Structure 1
């Protein structure tokens, strides 16, 4: 199926977004704006990891 676009998973989209935020932060001088962007990138990466964990096949429902 040539020309078909591969859809990214939610964690992949989050990781890509976090990468873009980090690139923005690296272009800024040290300060509160840069720190806020780096914090947002970390939070986004954590969200991706949590989503992967929550949707992993080995996760057992609570009893």
Structure 2
């Protein structure tokens, strides 16, 4: 049986998502309008949405459904 390769993340999930969103937006600024640019902007929006969801899940006001 294979063992999983594990490693500790040095940055938080929010930090990694923010970095990826910024990288995608910066790369999209250098491109002309087209499919690749739209894909990068979409990925940036998805990363930002994931950051909002992650913050919501970690918020102290969140309660388990009863």
Task: Tell me, yes or no, whether TM beats 0.5.
Answer: yes
Category of TM-score, reference length = shorter chain? 0.7 to 0.9
Query: 1:1-63, aligned counterparts within 5 Å?
Result: 7-63=10-66
Question: Greater RCO between the two (CA within 8 Å, min separation 6)?
Answer: 1
Normalised by the length of structure 1, the TM-score is 0.83
Q: Unaligned 5+ residue runs, structure 2? A: 1-9
What is the total number of aligned residue pairs between the two structures?
57
Structure 1: tracts of 5 or more residues without a match: 1-6
CA RMSD of aligned residues (A): 1.0
Q: 4+ runs of 1 displaced by more than 6 Å?
A: none
